[in-house]
Structure 1
Amino acid sequence: MSDLEVEQPQMQSQTPRQQQQRRRQPRCENACGDGQDKLLLTATATMSCPLVHGIDDNWTWSKRYRSKEVVLSGPNFRTVHFHPNWSKGTAGIQGKRPLNNGRYYWELHVSQRVFGTSIMFGIGTKNCRLHANAFRNMLGENEHGWGLSHKGVLWHKGVALLYTKRFRENHPTQIGVLYDGIEGTLTYYKDGKCLGVAFRGLDKVEEPLYPIVCSTAAKTEMTLKCARREFVNLQDRCRAVIMRRIRTAADLEKLKLPLPISEYLGEVIDDMEPLRQVGDYEICMMNYD
């Protein structure tokens, strides 16, 4: 590979297996962000509204914990510019918001410069690397990060799992991230559509977790347009304990609980098939969204 991250022609290749989508997602037509932004990215999409009963969470990006190849701008420094001149490595930045033990949702509006080795969105600890002098999937390269790349692949501990279709190159997109510290899950949304639970067991992570984004592509831009949080009550915590023993809708049905209780418990059941591990060659040959 060249020592410069430059745009490459799109590749047409085999379509990966479709993943089943989560059910029981609340829907609404007015997600976070202003109407003009949504018209630009998802003019006709019906937007999902995670934490619709939550409150605004006005965190921003850290000026201290970032790559030297990251520049911040805009109101409250919410816009991240990666490799503003040219790129020969991977740059990342950490958010200021600690996530553990709560529920948080944030949306990232990504500019049309979607290309290259890896553009990633997710979470990590303070031990997560934020700069590398090489093109790599940096978020999730070890146990300190959990990330989704623009090639539709999840990364954690250096293992790649097929999650969704590869993003369309050179098209703006909107990525939503829902962290549920009570259930211990991380869920992604793309252009208002829920992609399903990506990671589990995050409630067992004892180190502080933070939002993280990174990119290898020159002049990539992401803007934090929406951030919400939700207060967690005793009822939610009780559900989390119960659902550690109930994994499927069939298991829940066997309990023959009253309908309101069954529906409440069933909101956190994910029926998605187990994700499949993929290698470097298959990632390169994946189809675009």
Structure 2
Amino acid sequence: MLRSFRDHIWESWKWDSHSKSPDAQLSPCRQSVYFHVSPLLDSQGTAGVRGTKGFTHGEHYWEIEFLEPPYGCSVMVGVGTQNALLHTGDKRFINLIGMDSESWGLSYKGFIWHNGRSRKYTEPFYDKNTVIGILLDLSAGTLTFYRNGVNLGVAFTGLRQISKTLYPLVSSTAPETELQLGLRTHRMSSLQEQCIHIITQSLSHYTNAHKLPLPTTLLCQILTHAHS
């Protein structure tokens, strides 16, 4: 089933230049990431990068385009907490996203990973310009992947029990892997979320938002939304 976005709000988060492996380089606009690009070195391990926006509630969808055909031990997309590992050296070529309890990932070989365990989820994808969509639905507590707009089915459940913010992640062991952010959207799942979005838009030029006379929990959500 192809994905519909009629009720979604477009977003513009990017890759985080402060939360990445030293073996990951970002484009000036921070929408593309290039792994293991040094002309003097082969890949020394596994490199990852995190998105600038984290999610605690609602429904979020984003797409990753493989600008080159994936190959090698592992190229992955998924989500993870702030504690998710973003780098291994010493020739450790691993499935980084899902290596422990802090992340959930999909490998181009068709396996999904979490807590160091894997299972077959879909057929491998080797083609250049393959687009993998990630749907994180924190209302339902599910993570679903799409390939070129086609729903591959629910990959993970139980994410409502995770008490930590979840961030977009990508990783690779292969030299010159190029991944590019595409569509990024968010669907408001409650009146509160809609209010936070409207307040954030209104405060875009207000530098003292942290001083607003609002409940602490609501203020934290507003500030998180504003700075993502």
| Superposition TM-score tier, normalisation by shorter sequence | 0.7 to 0.9
Aligned: 1:92 with 2:48:
yes
User: What amino acid does structure 2 have at the position aligned with 1:157?
Assistant: N
Q: How does 1:126-145 map to 2 (within 5 A)?
A: 126-133=82-89, 134-145=92-103
Deviations 1:115-169 (A, max 9, x none): 000000000011110001211001101100000000100000001111001112x
Q: TM-score, normalised by structure 2?
A: 0.79
Query: CA separation in 2, counterparts of 1:164 and 1:225?
Result: 22
1:178 is matched with: 135
Give the unaligned 5+ runs of structure 1.
1-24, 28-47, 235-289
8 A contact 1:182–1:203 mirrored in 2: yes
1:79 is matched with: 32
Aligned: 1:70 with 2:27:
no
Q: How does 1:248-267 map to 2 (within 5 A)?
A: none
Deviation at residue 88 of structure 1 after TM alignment: 2.2
Deviation at residue 233 of structure 1 after TM alignment: 2.3
Q: How does 1:1-289 map to 2 (within 5 A)?
A: 25=1, 27=2, 48-49=3-4, 51-74=5-28, 76-85=29-38, 86-133=42-89, 134-168=92-126, 171-233=128-190
8 A contact 1:120–1:215 mirrored in 2: yes
8 A contact 1:57–1:228 mirrored in 2: yes
User: What amino acid does structure 2 have at the position aligned with 1:223?
Assistant: Q
Query: CA separation in 2, counterparts of 1:228 and 1:149?
Result: 23
8 A contact 1:113–1:172 mirrored in 2: yes
Structure 2 SS opposite 1:213: strand
Deviation at residue 193 of structure 1 after TM alignment: 1.1
Aligned residues: 186
Deviation at residue 226 of structure 1 after TM alignment: 1.0
Give the unaligned 5+ runs of structure 2.
192-228
8 A contact 1:113–1:219 mirrored in 2: no
Query: CA separation in 2, counterparts of 1:209 and 1:221?
Result: 23
8 A contact 1:100–1:203 mirrored in 2: no
Query: CA separation in 2, counterparts of 1:172 and 1:108?
Result: 9
**Structure 1: 4+ residue segments shifted above 4 A:** none
User: What amino acid does structure 2 have at the position aligned with 1:185?
Assistant: T
8 A contact 1:114–1:172 mirrored in 2: no
Structure 1 SS opposite 2:160: helix
User: What amino acid does structure 1 have at the position aligned with 2:95?
Assistant: N
Higher strand share: 2
Deviations 1:167-191 (A, max 9, x none): 12x5331110000010000000011
User: What amino acid does structure 1 have at the position aligned with 2:100?
Assistant: N
Deviation at residue 208 of structure 1 after TM alignment: 1.0
Alpha-carbon RMSD across the aligned residues, in angstroms, is: 1.3
Deviation at residue 84 of structure 1 after TM alignment: 1.0
Query: CA separation in 1, counterparts of 2:6 and 2:55?
Result: 18
Q: TM-score, normalised by structure 1?
A: 0.62
Query: CA separation in 2, counterparts of 1:60 and 1:153?
Result: 26
Deviation at residue 192 of structure 1 after TM alignment: 1.4
